[in-house]
């Protein structure tokens, strides 16, 4: 990619700062319309919030309860499109809401029927009321004393960082240059104060570069204010970060095919328990946070809250020792009035900020709508700059790896069509080596991640090319020396690199262990 960048002598149409869901959605949209694109990510792609989501492709039942019909409709449509465009990564997931009393039963059945209707023909399945005995049959671990019946509805479920990698591959196949470990240090401007490009540093080689772009886009999530202040040191705060924590549990806590949605926790939030890669993700919280960080740390009270709420609904009650991993992410919520106290009330829809310098900043939104966010951003650019209008092509664009009917019990299912390439690699005797029997990872995946998915570090592989760090943090630490060994050989690195990589991985991942 660096070579491609060096060979690119023209001004880019778009320079996108940030390799999370937002930047990646914009890169896909722009490159599919034939624009030249440079995307710069200071760490690894999705290192920040975009690998720490609840893994739902959803309209947002909660937003419907808040009366935000337009937001739910937009997300429900995007959910359907994403299921169709990346079926190897997005699956139809049934959820059961445990109800307590007739009022609950009527309220949720009616509400979720409306939820289906908003999705129109892109609905993933009809919501319905089910009896207590049917609920207990479908969820064997639910506490019978806590329910009178259940309401079933459908949403999408996905693997966030895998979708990011595959979308970047699609964008790059259409010409986009995407660079991880390249940090934007400042903006360049012309005599009229218009942003003309960026200066960035390759964090691995330490080499500084400059790139020129017709349109510079700030897609840095919770870090958006840093870039806005590069443009205007007096820029006002636009982001109100809100932390969300998830715990990973063994599948025995929720053995069936259904997920659970608890609609009213003690503090008015919702809590999900969702089967994911043969484990169960439980979350989330919504805690206003003062300072953004690339690796936010779960607070004790958030962990206790999740364990306590889940325990109330399950016969097998999880405790700290059952937690396989804990991870925290920061929502880049758009601060409407500078008041960060009530983040549940802050709009989840996306916003585009147009700076006087011509830079565009996209904040808010969610993974589910990343394609539409990209479309809106490109439309806005064409309108503001007086460029010729081009039609969006992403609605039915198949994402790299597209494969229908994948078998979710197959350890390599999430690679989609790339699975064949990995199997081919594993035909070479030593690539068949098992790196983790527990998490079903083989050496060929490491080689693949380096050669095709821009994995540079042990963490890239264990946290985002595979999801070992989130699925079982302790097991992933056990795997780290072996992964470092394979990577060092592939990348031609020395013993010191290996030692540093293992140490770095241990340091980061210790926060994922209780």
Ligand X SMILES: Cc1cc2nc3c(=O)[nH]c(=O)nc-3n(C[C@H](O)[C@H](O)[C@H](O)COP(=O)(O)OP(=O)(O)OC[C@H]3O[C@@H](n4cnc5c(N)ncnc54)[C@H](O)[C@@H]3O)c2cc1C
Residues that bind ligand X (CB under 6 A): 17-23, 40-43, 46-50, 52-56, 183-184, 219-223, 226, 244, 284, 329-332, 365-368
Given a contact cutoff of 8 angstroms between Cβ atoms, the answer to whether 227 and 184 are in contact is yes
Q: Are 104 and 146 in contact (CB under 8 A)?
A: no
The answer to whether residues 397 and 85 touch, using CB atoms and an 8 Å cutoff, is yes
Instruction: Please check whether residue 46 is in contact with residue 67, taking contact to mean a CB–CB distance below 8 angstroms.
Output: no
Cβ nearer to ligand X, comparing 371 with 482: 371
Nearer to ligand X, 241 or 416 (CB): 241
Residues 6 or more apart in contact with residue 77 via CB below 8 angstroms = 119, 120, 122
Q: At its nearest, how many Å lie between ligand X and the CB of residue 109?
A: 23
Q: How far is the CB of 226 from ligand X (least distance, A)?
A: 6
Q: Report the alpha-carbon distance of residue 319 to residue 333 in Å, rounded.
A: 31
CB of 470 to ligand X, least distance (A): 12
Q: From CA 96, how far away is CA 128, in angstroms rounded?
A: 10
The sign of the torsion formed by the CA atoms of 79, 332, 392, 161 equals negative
CA 213 distance to own-chain centroid: 27
* Alpha-carbon span 90 to 318, nearest angstrom: 27
Compute the least distance from the CB of residue 55 to ligand X, in Å.
Answer: 6
Chain centre distance of CA 499: 29
Closest CB to ligand X among 91 and 482?
91
CB of 377 to ligand X, least distance (A): 12
Q: Minimum distance from CB of 359 to ligand X (Å)?
A: 13
Q: 434 - beta bridge partners? A: 442
At closest approach, how far in Å is the CB of 496 from ligand X? Answer: 26
Pairing state between β 182-189 and 271-276: unpaired
> How crowded is the C-beta side of 141, counted as CA atoms within 13 Å?
20
Q: Is the dihedral of CA 461, 462, 463, 468 positive or negative?
A: positive
Tokens of 157: 């479920």
Is the CB of 23 or the CB of 213 nearer to ligand X?
A: 23
Residue (of 276, 278, 298, 277) closest to 289 by Cα position: 298
CB of 270 to ligand X, least distance (A): 11
Displacement of CA 145 from its chain's centroid (Å): 35
- Residue number, 33 or 47, with CB nearest to ligand X: 47
Nearer to ligand X among residue 41 and residue 159 (C-beta): 41
Between 380 and 493, whose beta carbon lies closer to ligand X?
Answer: 380
- Closest separation between CB of residue 376 and ligand X, Å? 14
Question: 275 or 443, CB closer to ligand X?
Answer: 275
Q: Which is nearer to ligand X, 24 or 483 (CB)?
A: 24
Of the two residues 129 and 283, which places its CB atom closer to ligand X in the complex?
Answer: 283
- Based on CB atoms, which residue is closest to ligand X, 42 or 498? 42
Q: Tell me the three-class secondary structure of 209-265, residue by residue.
A: EEEEEEEEEECCHHHHHHHHHHHCCCCCCCEEEEEEEEEEEEHHHCCCCCEEEECCC
* Min separation Cβ 105 and ligand X, Å: 26
Q: What minimum distance in Å lies between the beta carbon of 230 and ligand X? A: 8
The answer to whether the beta carbons of residues 29 and 360 sit under 8 Å apart is no
Cis amide prior to 427 (ω within 30 degrees): no
In the bound complex, what is the minimum distance in angstroms from residue 422's beta carbon to ligand X?
26
Residues shown for the chain: 514
The set of long-range contacts for 223-226, using a CB threshold of 8 Å and a minimum separation of 24, is 223/18, 223/48, 223/292, 224/332, 224/361, 224/363
Distance CA 29, CA 449 (A): 24
Nearest to ligand X of 276, 477 (CB atom)? 276
């Amino acid at each position: 990619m660096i070579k491609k960048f060096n060979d690119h002598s023209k001004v880019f149409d778009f320079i996108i700062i940030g390799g999370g869901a937002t930047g990646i959605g914009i890169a896909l949209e722009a490159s599919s319309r034939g624009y030249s694109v440079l995307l710069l990510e200071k760490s690894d792609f999705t290192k920040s919030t975009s690998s720490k989501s609840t893994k739902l492709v959803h309209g947002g039942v909660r937003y419907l309860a808040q009366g935000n019909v337009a937001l739910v409709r937009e997300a429900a449509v995007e959910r359907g499109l994403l299921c169709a465009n990346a079926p190897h990564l997005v699956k139809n997931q049934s959820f059961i809401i445990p109800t307590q009393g007739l009022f609950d039963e009527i309220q949720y059945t009616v509400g979720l029927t409306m939820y289906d209707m908003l999705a129109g023909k892109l609905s993933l399945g009809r919501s319905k009321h089910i009896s207590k005995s049917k609920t207990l049959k479908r969820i064997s671990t639910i506490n019978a004393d806590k329910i009178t019946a259940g309401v079933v509805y459908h949403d999408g479920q996905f693997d966030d960082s895998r979708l990011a990698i595959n979308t970047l591959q699609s964008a790059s196949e259409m010409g986009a240059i995407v660079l991880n470990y390249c940090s934007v240090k400042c903006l360049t401007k012309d005599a009229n104060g218009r942003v003309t490009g960026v200066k960035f540093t390759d964090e691995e080689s330490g080499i500084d570069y400059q790139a020129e772009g017709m349109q510079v886009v700030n897609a840095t999530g919770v870090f958006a204010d840093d870039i806005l202040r590069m443009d205007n040191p007096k820029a006002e705060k636009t982001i109100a970060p809100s932390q969300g924590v998830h715990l990973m549990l063994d599948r025995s806590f929720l053995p069936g095919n259904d997920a659970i949605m608890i609609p009213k926790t003690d503090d008015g939030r919702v809590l999900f328990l969702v089967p994911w890669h043969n484990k169960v993700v439980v979350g989330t919280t919504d805690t206003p946070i003062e300072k953004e960080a690339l690796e936010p740390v779960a607070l004790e009270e958030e962990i206790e809250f999740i364990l306590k709420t889940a325990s109330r609904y399950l016969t097998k009650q999880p405790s700290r020792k059952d937690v396989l991993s804990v991870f925290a992410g920061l929502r880049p919520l758009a601060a409407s009035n500078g008041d960060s106290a009530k983040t549940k009330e802050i709009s989840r829809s996306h916003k585009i900020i147009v700076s006087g310098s011509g830079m565009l900043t996209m904040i808010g939104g969610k993974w589910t709508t990343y394609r539409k966010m990209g479309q809106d951003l490109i439309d806005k650019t064409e309108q503001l700059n007086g460029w010729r209008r081009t039609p969006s092509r992403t609605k039915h664009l198949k994402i790299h790896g597209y494969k229908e009917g994948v078998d979710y019990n197959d350890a390599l299912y999430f690679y989609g069509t790339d699975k064949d390439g990995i199997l081919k690699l594993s035909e070479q005797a030593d690539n068949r080596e098992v790196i983790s029997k527990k998490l079903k990872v083989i050496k060929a995946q490491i080689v693949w991640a380096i050669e095709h998915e821009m994995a540079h570090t042990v963490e890239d592989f264990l946290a985002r090319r595979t999801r070992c760090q989130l699925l079982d943090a302790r097991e992933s630490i056990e795997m780290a020396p072996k992964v470092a060994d394979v990577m060092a050989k592939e990348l031609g690195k020395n013993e010191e690199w290996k030692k540093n990589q293992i140490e770095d991985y241990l340091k980061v991942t210790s926060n994922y262990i209780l």
